[in-house]
């Protein structure tokens, strides 16, 4: 059975066969413009609402909802009907509200510093599962308007190209989001970048670089062995030529690993000719990676070095750390709500609000209980604005 946001207009029309044709438009507007559940579409007859509710089930069952940053960051853990779990993060900043969505349950790319990579691949998400993450975040964002969507959550979006692109079309065509406000990140899947370059909608492209020489990148981002830097940079160049959009490079700063002056020089040499914006993301701790992120002073020094080398650079504000929604940390914290986070555990029979300031037994951002939820960090938007994404997987 198609889930609510998998169904296209044709599917809806088939469900509403025998009804006046304007009912299809009413129901579609209800789902995408007014973001309503069928039960709340009071312009439809009650029987029709009930039928749509039954025949178009939601795909995402909320398991945990966590709120931090004074309400400006909300993370959901969703259960899917086959037992998989994914996460979504909504972030508010002055003038914009951004949702960071997952495109896969798990990830096959194997970046060692990323919690999702550490947990391995589950499956691709369906288009409806991706779109529904956005719709539910948009509802939650009200009265603010959801302005940006970044595909920087769990998974490699370009490894699930067809479904991700179908979701992009739905977000643009039906939810009314501008392509300028849609960002797809990739760890460097060149065939996917080539396909993106040929699409009608010029979305933003964020490449999770993390290293600017092949030796180090082979180590940090294993897919680099298949798509090495020279070919990746050439693909980025073609993308820019085809779309005219800006490119961003995401760089998770790892202590004494990719934060040396030589790393800055190599990064600048790649970024400058492409006019790429660099987003620096101090690596957040994950259970399976021992090396810490670069300390704050080192982050500032790396940033300043890049600036001195003529690179447009931003340090990603790490938001959502208290709920493990920050870069590289999206791992469910189902057993021990971290400090200062408000966590609501959701079950079909009970909704329970936990304390707002539990004393953690582990450092903020960690839990003592491993869950089956992998996590990722994602790069930031390529708009040049200060980054406002909690990247789910440091790509
Ligand atoms: S960083 Fe991104 S591409 Fe790499 S394993 Fe994590 S989710 Fe996958």
Tokens for 46? Answer: 């009650």
Q: What is the pLDDT along the chain (395 residues), one digit of tens a residue?
A: 789 999 999 999 999 999 999 999 999 999 999 999 999 999 999 999 999 999 999 999 999 999 988 889 999 999 999 999 999 999 999 999 999 999 999 999 999 999 899 889 999 999 999 999 999 999 999 999 999 999 999 999 999 999 999 999 999 999 999 999 999 999 999 999 999 999 999 999 999 999 999 999 999 999 999 999 999 999 999 999 999 998 999 999 999 999 999 999 999 999 999 999 999 999 988 888 999 999 999 999 999 999 999 999 999 876 655 555 544 455 534 433 333 445 555 543 333 333 323 222 222 222 222 222 333 333 333 333 333 333 443 44
Cα of 28 vs centre of ligand 1, distance in Å, is 34
Query: Residues 6 or more apart from 121 whose CB is under 8 A from it?
Result: 104, 106, 107, 108
What's the pLDDT score for residue 10? 96
Contact 211, 196 (CB under 8 A): no
305 lines ligand 1 (CB under 6 A): no
DSSP string, 337-361: PPTT-EEEEE-SS-EEE--SS---S
Tokens for 292? Answer: 């810490």
Tokens for 381? Answer: 């938007």
Cα of 393 vs centre of ligand 1, distance in Å, is 5
pTM of the entire predicted model: 0.86
CA angle, 332 then 337 then 339, to 5°: 120
Distance CA 340, CA 353 (A): 13
C-alpha 143: how far from chain center = 22
Atom of ligand 1 nearest to the CA of 118: 5
Let me know if 83 is exposed, middle or buried by CB neighbors in 10 A (0-12, 13-18, 19+): exposed
What's the pLDDT score for residue 343? 57
What's the pLDDT score for residue 227? 98
Atom of ligand 1 nearest to the CA of 116: 6
281 lines ligand 1 (CB under 6 A): no
Contact 69, 322 (CB under 8 A): yes
| CATH no. of 59-353 | 3.20.20.70
Compute the chain's Rg from CA coordinates.
Answer: 21
**Measured torsion, CA atoms of residues 37, 40, 43, 48, in degrees rounded to the nearest 10:** 70
Which sequence positions are flagged as catalytic? 87, 327
Cα of 121 vs centre of ligand 1, distance in Å, is 10
Q: What number of other Cβ atoms are within 10 A of residue 16's Cβ?
A: 20
Among 251, 329, 395, the mutation site with the greatest number of ligand 1 atoms within 8 A of its Cβ is: 395
188 lines ligand 1 (CB under 6 A): no
Atom of ligand 1 nearest to the CA of 154: 7
Q: In what order do the strands lie in the sheet with 342-346?
A: 313-315, 277-282, 247-253, 204-208, 182-186, 148-151, 96-100, 85-93, 73-79, 61-68, 342-346, 351-353
Atom of ligand 1 nearest to the CA of 104: 7
Kindly report the protein residue whose alpha carbon is nearest to atom 1 of ligand 1.
395
CA angle, 65 then 5 then 75, to 5°: 15
395 lines ligand 1 (CB under 6 A): yes
Q: Collapsing DSSP states into helix, strand and coil, what is residue 320?
A: coil
117 lines ligand 1 (CB under 6 A): yes
206 lines ligand 1 (CB under 6 A): no
Domain borders along the chain are 9-54, 59-353
Among 108, 114, 209, the mutation site with the greatest number of ligand 1 atoms within 8 A of its Cβ is: 114
393 lines ligand 1 (CB under 6 A): yes
């Amino acid at each position: 059975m198609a889930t609510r946001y998998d169904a296209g207009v044709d599917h809806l029309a088939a469900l509403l066969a025998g009804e006046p044709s304007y009912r299809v438009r009413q129901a579609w507007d209800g789902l995408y413009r007014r973001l309503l559940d069928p039960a709340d579409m009071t312009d439809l007859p009650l029987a029709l609402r009930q039928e749509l509710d039954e025949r178009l089930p939601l795909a995402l069952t909320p398991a945990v909802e966590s709120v931090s940053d004074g309400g400006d960051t909300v993370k959901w853990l969703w259960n899917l009907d086959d037992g998989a779990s994914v996460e979504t993060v909504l972030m508010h900043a002055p003038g914009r509200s951004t949702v960071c969505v997952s495109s896969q349950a798990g990830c096959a790319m194997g970046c060692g510093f990323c919690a999702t990579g550490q947990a391995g691949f589950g499956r691709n998400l369906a288009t409806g599962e991706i779109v529904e993450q956005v719709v539910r975040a948009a509802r939650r964002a009200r009265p603010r308007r959801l302005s940006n969507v970044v595909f920087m959550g769990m998974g490699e979006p370009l490894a699930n190209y067809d479904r991700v692109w179908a979701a992009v079309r739905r977000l643009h065509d039906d939810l009314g989001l501008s392509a300028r406000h849609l960002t797809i990140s990739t760890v460097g899947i060149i065939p996917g970048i080539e396909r993106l370059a040929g699409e009608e909608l010029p979305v933003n492209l964020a490449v999770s670089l993390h290293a600017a020489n092949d030796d180090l990148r082979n180590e940090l981002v294993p897919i680099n062995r298949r798509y090495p830097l020279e070919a990746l940079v050439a693909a980025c160049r073609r993308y820019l030529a085809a779309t005219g959009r800006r490119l961003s490079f995401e760089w998770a700063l790892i202590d004494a690993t990719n934060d040396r002056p030589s790393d800055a020089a190599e990064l600048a040499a790649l970024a400058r000719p492409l006019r790429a914006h660099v987003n620096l993301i101090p690596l957040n701790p994950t259970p399976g990676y021992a090396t810490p992120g670069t300390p704050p002073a080192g982050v500032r020094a790396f940033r300043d070095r890049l600036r001195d080398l003529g690179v447009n650079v931003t340090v990603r504000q790490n938001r959502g750390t208290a709920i493990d929604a920050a870069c590289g940390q999206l791992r469910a914290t189902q057993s021990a709500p971290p400090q200062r986070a408000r966590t609501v555990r959701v079950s079909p029979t009970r909704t329970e609000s936990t304390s707002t300031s539990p004393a953690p037994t582990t450092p903020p951002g960690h839990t003592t209980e491993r869950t089956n939820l992998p996590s990722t960090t994602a790069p930031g938007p390529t708009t040049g604005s200060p980054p406002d994404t909690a990247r789910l997987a440091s790509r």
